[in-house]
Chain A
């Protein structure tokens, strides 16, 4: 490393330059942007050099004794965190929305984004000793396209018409152009497994920095350092553990008592009090996750856009951010995109509470005055019942007869969500706009939970997907956002920040809005200062 580089590292470590400046100046010295970015992540937050050894423990909410190590089935924080620690994907999403190369070394596409090539990194081995090959990658992707795998990523890989492995290169031919394809490959389900994991998908064998030693579903997973791991900037602790601690108070008590080193989901209401505990640091990251109330556009009375508009106008968004998120979040604008996404249009005006306008729209809708029922369960999102109560209070203020029906947590996602015409739900967000819109707002989408159908919107979505000019693309996304905001069935009052806790002795922390605990990589990227 040259003297100039060392100076830059020193500047970054003392917080004197930001990531963009660091990456730019390192680039001038000949370092690739991704390497520089990774380096910045490590040095900028370091209280010193990484410390090797020790046992790093994460207390995570959302574990169940029904959990599995099969990456295709991961659906909550605990399996997500475990899988991200033993497994690796082709690429990863870094803070700031850029991709870094992991199992893939290089990604290229043809001019119209219909064919993509991933060059597989050499010298990477699975925990069982076998080298990671292009064939393994293709087998992995193929398994997720198979109906039998029941993969949560099936929708992402469905658009790949043809996959081939040749030497160290994987070639993906798409049915239709998709400029965002590499982002899809960062999805946490698409962890590369030997032979695609076809024989034993839940074996927990991958090519990550840690190897599964002991796994008790819904309790804990113990993982040991992988001695053959290729990247020396990761994997510092000897042993890492993911503990499933579902109770909020127990989790916070465990971190103040030092039984765990990091925790997910700090209740925003107690964040301030927890931060004042000795040795505990609260970390926040503004991400794409949002809490929503969804109306079915095809069912009465929600098939009337005036009624939908009346409800949208009768939400006190600022109050919800303040009370439900403890101020740790931002107001939503009735479309599922915020500043966490590339190509977000910041000029779209913020929708606010307006009792008079709401009443006007309500009158125009000609609703008969019968109660409008909002179905909600605590499981819908943290604070869902409270948020619903606030919604009812403000809607009643505007003269709209909104009432709550409390549903059981048990069975909520099968009996209410996507079934009831008006209920509470949440979205974790996606790395790019296309993916978010394609997942839930395209008229033919599997998860079109607002039953939203708009031919113009669909056409714009397909056009934007193949559009390589960012300016045109941004305009297309902006138009879509406005369509959804003014005619859609989505009421999106707030985007929630990730609010997490760590011990002060944890080094290398760098918040990543893409997901909880540094997008699942906290145990891999952090170390334990003595």
Chain B
């Protein structure tokens, strides 16, 4: 199997970010909440990426922030996908009242503005990291549901699915062996997107108080804290923004590669 250079680079970046975040405690030059310099210092030999709005080392915070960012985004996207895709396929395959019920529930969930949903949820559940992941995952799964249902509905009426039904295959066989492989490419593409949205959403949530508890941080939150410095090119705001962009592009390059692989696989299988 030949991996194209872009995907290799994407994998390398993802691996590096993951590894350095996991090892933050050992590799970070300073502590997470240690004020070591002046406000908004430029990158220097002492502070490789400069200092933030109260004089903390940005490199160190970036490493610690990576833990939260990557973990929460990955966990909530995975949750959104397993839930959304499963119910989406189920709705498409079963049709009838199952489809109607599931679709309507999702419609209702999506139709109520998420600000109101988040506020209500916030008032009921305790504010912990698992809650955060659950809220983001469930909110996002509705979008995945609609997409997978749309894709699967197209596939479900294909001849090979009809054939499988005539063969007397069970529902799970149809979902996992017929629909899933054939619906993979739009879903993988969507996963890349959802992952980015999750990274960005974490920082938006702090508006609702659902965000990360200080002194812990996430990359989006770091950009927010320093946003006034953005148009003056302060590294405190630019560095975490760049980190998000690099991570996003890396994840999507890899998604693209998987996409092209599954497409060709499928071509081989059904062609």
Does a CB–CB distance below 8 Å link A and B in the complex?
yes
Q: Which residue of A lies closest to B228 (CB)?
A: A267
> Would you call B252 an interface residue if the criterion is a C-beta within 8 Å of the partner chain's C-beta atoms?
no
Contact call A323/B209, Cβ cutoff below 8 A = no
Q: A270-B229, A273-B232, A386-B54 are in contact. Are A408 and B39 (CB under 8 A)?
A: no
> Would you call A319 an interface residue if the criterion is a C-beta within 8 Å of the partner chain's C-beta atoms?
yes
> Would you call B262 an interface residue if the criterion is a C-beta within 8 Å of the partner chain's C-beta atoms?
no
Residues of A within 8 A of B119 (CB): 410
Contact call A253/B35, Cβ cutoff below 8 A = no
**Cβ contact of B208, chosen from A385, A386, A404, A410, cutoff 8 A:** A410
In the bound complex, what is the Cα–Cα distance between A385 and B210 (angstroms)? 15
> Would you call B253 an interface residue if the criterion is a C-beta within 8 Å of the partner chain's C-beta atoms?
no
> Would you call A392 an interface residue if the criterion is a C-beta within 8 Å of the partner chain's C-beta atoms?
yes
Contact call A408/B35, Cβ cutoff below 8 A = no
Residues of B within 8 A of A267 (CB): 228
- The contact string, 1 if C-beta is below 8 Å from chain A, for chain B 143-156, is 00000000000000
> Would you call A388 an interface residue if the criterion is a C-beta within 8 Å of the partner chain's C-beta atoms?
yes
Chain B positions 5-27 with a Cβ under 8 Å from a chain A Cβ:
none
Contact call A269/B231, Cβ cutoff below 8 A = no
Residues of B within 8 A of A319 (CB): 35
Q: Which residue of A lies closest to B206 (CB)?
A: A406
Residues of B within 8 A of A377 (CB): 209
Contact call B228/A323, Cβ cutoff below 8 A = no
**Cβ contact of A249, chosen from B122, B208, B213, B230, cutoff 8 A:** B230
Q: A269-B40, A270-B228, A408-B208 are in contact. Are A385 and B214 (CB under 8 A)?
A: yes
Chain B interface size band reads 20 to 34
Contact call B231/A409, Cβ cutoff below 8 A = no
- The contact string, 1 if C-beta is below 8 Å from chain B, for chain A 227-249, is 00000000000000000000011
Q: Which residue of B lies closest to A266 (CB)?
A: B228
What is the CB-to-nearest-CB distance from B199 to chain A, in angstroms, rounded to a whole number?
19
Contact call A408/B53, Cβ cutoff below 8 A = no
Contact call A409/B209, Cβ cutoff below 8 A = yes
In the bound complex, what is the Cα–Cα distance between A389 and B212 (angstroms)? 14
Contact call A405/B229, Cβ cutoff below 8 A = no
Contact call A270/B232, Cβ cutoff below 8 A = yes
**Cβ contact of B53, chosen from A386, A392, A393, A409, cutoff 8 A:** A386
Contact call A404/B34, Cβ cutoff below 8 A = no
What is the CB-to-nearest-CB distance from B254 to chain A, in angstroms, rounded to a whole number?
33
Residues of A within 8 A of B4 (CB): none
In the bound complex, what is the Cα–Cα distance between A410 and B216 (angstroms)? 21
What is the CB-to-nearest-CB distance from A425 to chain B, in angstroms, rounded to a whole number?
16
Residues of B within 8 A of A249 (CB): 227-228, 230-231
Contact call A326/B214, Cβ cutoff below 8 A = no
In the bound complex, what is the Cα–Cα distance between A273 and B55 (angstroms)? 18
Chain A residues proximal to chain B, CB less than 8 Å: 248-249, 252-253, 267, 269-270, 273, 319, 322-324, 326, 377, 383, 385-386, 388-390, 392-393, 404-410
Besides A389-B54, A408-B208, 11 other CB < 8 A contacts?
Answer: A269-B39, A323-B39, A324-B54, A386-B225, A393-B35, A404-B215, A405-B213, A407-B209, A408-B210, A410-B207, A410-B209
